[in-house]
Amino acid sequence: MEGLMFTISDYVLSVVANGTISQAARQLHLSQPALSVAIKKLETQIGQPLFDRSTTPLTLTPAGELYVAKARQITLLEQSFRDELVNADEHLTGSLTIGGAFISVAYLLPPVLRQFHDRYPDVELTLLETPFPELTRRLLDQQVDLGVDADRFLHPKIDAVQLFENHILLAVPDELVPQSVVTTFGYSYDEVLAGIDERLPIRRLELTSFASLPFILMLPANEISQRTAGMFAAAKFHPQVAMTVNQQMSAYEFAQQGWGAAFVTNTLIQYSGEVDGLHFYQVAGADQPRYVAVAFNKQRYQSKLQRTFVEFLVQYYRHQIDDGAAGQA
């Protein structure tokens, strides 16, 4: 096979990541015909098709699987080479793409990225809002370098470093439960802001105490939904569903409007601002502790920049915890 077969590997990897040649062409700033011709020429050179074009999105043939595996190995070697050159000087440069769900992008990462940028001003940072179910795929496809979200990454190629612990609470409109329940078991916004940990008394209720209430649930792919589904099963009741949403921010908004009870994290509560007419409950059997973590593809070469950023995150939140503000970091 003559020629440099891997000089257009970025084209093939882009098609794999995007699922179609047209979407890959837009990402690569090429015309669709030009990209199609380049891939056809490569397939002719190899002697076998790389893609099964009868499927949407496109799937790889056995030859395509082998090509992509080798192309990714070459990409890692190139990244390693560039990193070694950069690291010959202590001056840290390069680019870093970080993915995270709405809470991470809107609340958790901005303050730490500000400090990181102040220390390393020549590092180019890109932040992508990525729903939790998509984050693993983007890490595996190398669309993001790191992901910041809950630590429920179940893929064997993904590893995670825990940053801090947070808690899943049940947000319930006061009008839906007796005042005695609110007074005895409910946590106010100020108490959640202070921190749901050893500084506050434990006031847990069984989930069955809320069996008669309407619930705002999240789609099964949502990480909190996965954690709480077992709680309903253990409590042996099917919740009355008032609304189904795709993220906890939406569930929290509907709870504030009195639609029903919603599982949310203390981190979201603390960042979203004070609310009236709503209290928060610790439910027995909740899948705790829950950690926010920074995740990475452990089969991918980890550059000095990535390692430095992970350590920066760990130290940042450790400092927040030492200051007694783990949930507010």
The partner residues of 295 in beta bridges, in order of sequence, read: 147, 160
Interval 259-277 mean pLDDT = 92
Considering the domain architecture, whether residues 181 and 107 belong to the same structural domain is answered as no
pTM score above 0.85: no
Interval 180-188 mean pLDDT = 93
Q: Domain tally for the chain?
A: 3
Q: Are 251 and 162 in contact (CB under 8 A)?
A: no
Q: How confident is the model at residue 161 (pLDDT cuts 50, 70, 90)?
A: very high
Q: How confident is the model at residue 329 (pLDDT cuts 50, 70, 90)?
A: very low
The secondary element (H helix, E strand) that includes residue 192 is helix 189-194
The secondary element (H helix, E strand) that includes residue 56 is none
Q: Which two tokens stand for residue 174?
A: 């006061």
Bond from prior residue into 133 cis (ω within 30 degrees of 0): no
- Report DSSP state, residue 187: B
- What's the maximum distance between 2 C-alpha atoms anywhere in the chain? 80
Interval 44-61 mean pLDDT = 92
Query: Can you tell me the distance from the alpha carbon of 284 to that of 16, in angstroms, rounded to the nearest whole number?
Result: 44
Contacts of 299 (CB under 8 A, 6+ apart): 157
Q: Which two tokens stand for residue 196?
A: 């749901």
Q: How confident is the model at residue 197 (pLDDT cuts 50, 70, 90)?
A: low
Considering the domain architecture, whether residues 215 and 172 belong to the same structural domain is answered as yes
Considering the domain architecture, whether residues 282 and 299 belong to the same structural domain is answered as no
Q: Which two tokens stand for residue 165?
A: 């612990």
Interval 281-291 mean pLDDT = 80
Considering the domain architecture, whether residues 65 and 25 belong to the same structural domain is answered as yes
Domain that holds residue 59: 9-84
The pLDDT value recorded for residue 255 is 97
Considering the domain architecture, whether residues 184 and 250 belong to the same structural domain is answered as yes
The pLDDT value recorded for residue 4 is 47
CATH code: domain of residue 251: 3.40.190.10
The partner residues of 151 in beta bridges, in order of sequence, read: none
Q: Which of 55, 84, 113 represents a domain boundary (last residue)?
A: 84
Q: Strands 51-52 and 262-265, how do they pair?
A: unpaired
The pLDDT value recorded for residue 1 is 38
Residue 322: is its pLDDT beyond 80? no
Mean pLDDT of the chain: 87
Considering the domain architecture, whether residues 158 and 300 belong to the same structural domain is answered as yes
Share of the chain above pLDDT 70, in %: 89
The pLDDT value recorded for residue 85 is 62
CATH code: domain of residue 77: 1.10.10.10
| 40 within a domain of the structure (yes/no) | yes
- Report DSSP state, residue 108: I
Query: Can you tell me the distance from the alpha carbon of 148 to that of 292, in angstroms, rounded to the nearest whole number?
Result: 7
Of 5-9, 195-199, 280-284, 305-309, the one with minimum mean pLDDT is 195-199
Q: Are 32 and 25 in contact (CB under 8 A)?
A: yes
Query: Can you tell me the distance from the alpha carbon of 146 to that of 169, in angstroms, rounded to the nearest whole number?
Result: 27
Share of the chain above pLDDT 90, in %: 57
